[in-house]
Amino acid sequence: MEEVLKLQKRIVPELVELLEKRYNILRTIYYNEPVGRRVLASNLGIGERIVRTEINFLKAQGFIEINTPGMTITKDGEEIIDKLKDSIHELRGLSEIEDFIKDSFKLRRVIVVPGDCDDDRTIMSEIGRAAANYLKEVLKDNSIVAITGGSTIKQVVDNMSRVTSFKNILVVPARGGMGANVETQANTLSARLAKKLEGNYKLFHVPDNLSDTAINAIKKEKSIQDVLKYIYNADILIYGVGRACKMARRRGLTEEKINSIKTDGGVGEAFGYYFDKKGDVVYSTPSVGIKNDEIGKINTLIAVAGGSSKAEAILSTEINNYNGVLITDEGAAKKIVELINSQ
């Protein structure tokens, strides 16, 4: 089927463009339903007249329903989205890009979803779904899953379906909490993920950016030691990646420290560590939880991040992450390939 589509792309490219357009419309409705025509047109960046024409076609085919609250996807529509996903992946040459990044970084696996979440926020849901599906592949009985916080990891949890086939799963926060948004904190996400996996969870009530004295005192608490024991024995770690300066400000670092990170070449951040273009740590925020020198002991490391603007940050955190797993989008992946080729 993919070979036929590739031939069509060469002979009648307008048909393939139409296929991609209708796929994007269905996917956008799926992640925003119920959604109105005007909002859909705005999200896709195309005119309402074009959207109206395509919506009429998709409704006639039974892929969507139109009600007072807005448009929703039918079961047939969901099936089409799922079946077209791999074809779109091949048409855009994403398998070759995955292999190139995988070989360049010596990663265990790279998964690239079509699109760029910098241009289309629904792509973040696609990344989250891909990460959730991969997590289900590597889970086993008695797994300990450590996760960081953040909006990207929230998408992984949001897109995880209920799983009942594993026994004694434990989910723990990888580090102390950060920020005022409870919904994206590691504690909240750990509890939600554990519920979907019908497992257990541990909470870790330790803020970031404590003084060394405070951290040493907290580490002596038995409740903290108990959770740390599980964190250090995790066999799966799921974490997001951020741009160094943006994450430094979010973590409340001083402008002096932010400038120092920038001067030292810091471009990417993951679980409180700031990396330069070569993958070397230039700074780490004081915190209790997973340590950079400990993650090599974890069997499965899953980095989840997307957007072309994060390409340099992703490269900095994954370049020395041998045998890790990267789940990202087309925008970031293509930019990463450019960065690798320019070095």
CATH number for the domain that contains residue 21:
1.10.10.10
CB of 89 closer than 8 Å to CB of 20:
no
Same domain? For 181 and 318 the reply is: yes
Q: Of the residues 36, 65, 90, which one is the last residue of a structural domain?
A: 90
Quick one: tokens of 72?
A: 């929703």
Same domain? For 326 and 309 the reply is: yes
Same domain? For 179 and 281 the reply is: yes
Q: Of the residues 39, 73, 90, which one is the last residue of a structural domain?
A: 90
Same domain? For 151 and 277 the reply is: yes
Give Cα 260 to chain centroid, integer Å: 28
Lowest mean pLDDT among 141-145, 222-226, 287-291: 287-291
Same domain? For 140 and 86 the reply is: no
Grade residue 297 by pLDDT with cuts at 50, 70 and 90.
Answer: confident
Same domain? For 113 and 83 the reply is: no
In three-state secondary structure terms, 2 is helix
Q: Which residue has the higher pLDDT, 92 or 138?
A: 138
Q: Which residue has the higher pLDDT, 174 or 178?
A: 174
Lowest mean pLDDT among 266-270, 279-283, 288-292: 288-292
What is the extent of the structural domain holding 39?
Answer: 2-90
Mean pLDDT of 57-71: 95
Q: Which residue has the higher pLDDT, 77 or 320?
A: 77
pLDDT in tens, 84-132: 888 888 888 899 999 999 999 999 999 999 999 998 888 999 999 999 9
Give me the pLDDT at residue 226, please.
Answer: 87
DSSP collapsed to 3 states, 207-260: ECCCCHHHHHHHHCCHHHHHHHHHHHCCCEEEEECEEHHHHHHHCCCCHHHHHH
Same domain? For 62 and 124 the reply is: no
CA 209, CA 206: separation in Å to the nearest integer? Answer: 10
Give me the pLDDT at residue 253, please.
Answer: 87
Give me the pLDDT at residue 114, please.
Answer: 92
Cα–Cα nearest to 30, from 86, 89, 70: 70
Averaged confidence pLDDT in the chain:
90
Same domain? For 57 and 123 the reply is: no
In three-state secondary structure terms, 97 is helix
CA 110, CA 158: separation in Å to the nearest integer? Answer: 21
Give me the pLDDT at residue 208, please.
Answer: 66
Give me the pLDDT at residue 223, please.
Answer: 81
Grade residue 1 by pLDDT with cuts at 50, 70 and 90.
Answer: low
Instruction: Specify the number of domains making up the chain.
Output: 2
Same domain? For 110 and 257 the reply is: yes
- The number of beta carbons lying within 10 Å of the beta carbon of residue 199 is 21
CB of 269 closer than 8 Å to CB of 248:
yes
Q: Of the residues 40, 72, 90, which one is the last residue of a structural domain?
A: 90
Same domain? For 68 and 170 the reply is: no
Q: Which residue has the higher pLDDT, 289 or 36?
A: 36
Same domain? For 122 and 252 the reply is: yes
Does residue 168 have a pLDDT over 60? Answer: yes
- Strand-pairing partners, residue 125, are none
Torsion over CA: 26, 30, 31, 34 (sign):
positive
Does residue 251 have a pLDDT over 60? Answer: yes
CA 208, CA 291: separation in Å to the nearest integer? Answer: 13
Residues 6+ apart with CB under 8 A from 12: none
Same domain? For 56 and 125 the reply is: no
Specify the CATH number for the domain of residue 126.
3.40.50.1360
Does residue 179 have a pLDDT over 60? Answer: no
Lowest mean pLDDT among 48-57, 143-152, 176-185, 219-228: 176-185
